[in-house]
Amino acid sequence: MKKGDKIKFYLFGAPASGVVDRVNRKEGTVNIAEGGVIYPNVQTFKELPKKKKEVPPWYILKIKK
């Protein structure tokens, strides 16, 4: 992912799309801008954690094809 890439992510469980604003390679997170709001520290998951309280409010879910 690079700055300016369009990306699909989940915002409070609902699908959304936005633009990558900043990439933090040390933490493995990105900041995504959508609708004038920047969502910080968006994490990428292959599958969601089992415990509901461990799921962040915004995240990227990688789906196997």
Query: Residue 31: pLDDT band by 50, 70, 90 thresholds?
Result: very high
pLDDT value of residue 36: 93
Residue 50 domain-assigned (yes or no): yes
To the nearest 10°, the Cα dihedral for 49, 44, 64, 19?
A: 140
Q: pLDDT tens digits, residue range 44-58?
A: 999 989 998 999 999
Residue whose structure tokens are 């461990």: 54
Domain annotation covers residue 48: yes
Cβ atoms 58, 32 nearer than 8 A: yes
Does any domain span residue 41?
yes
Percent of the chain with pLDDT over 70: 97
In a domain, 28, yes or no: yes
